[in-house]
Amino acid sequence: MTPAMTTMDLDRAWDLHPQVSVRPEPFGALLYHFGTRKLSFLKDRRLLTVVRTLAEAPTARAACTAAGIADSELPRYGRALAALAHSSMVVRRTS
């Protein structure tokens, strides 16, 4: 991961990439990007909730708050979301 992507700008709007499919699993979820053929494993159910609600939330921070993530946990979730952005699983919202 590049140094610029070690954390995500949680105050911006993000979406799940339109070519990404989310498959819930007992451990969390699998994310598959049909364009890049990359597979990501989400082992944290709250992160799955954040990813699923990004489209409805005005910012990634709002999606985290709605998922019950405390302010003290935001850096960890910001890094996880940055990794998903780096692999094009989530993208900045353009509209």
CA distance 28 to 36: 21
Q: Tokens representing 76?
A: 């960890």
Q: Tell me, what's the pLDDT at 8?
A: 87
Q: Tell me, what's the pLDDT at 3?
A: 44
Identify the CA nearest to 4 among candidates 95, 77, 78: 78
Under CATH, what is the fold of the domain 3-85?
Outer Surface Protein A; domain 3 (3.90.930)
User: How many C-beta atoms lie closer than 10 Å to residue 57's C-beta?
Assistant: 19
Mean pLDDT of 14-23: 97
pTM of the prediction? 0.89
Q: Tell me, what's the pLDDT at 10?
A: 95
Q: Tell me, what's the pLDDT at 2?
A: 44
* Tens-digit pLDDT profile for residues 32-72: 999 999 999 999 999 999 999 999 999 999 999 999 999 99
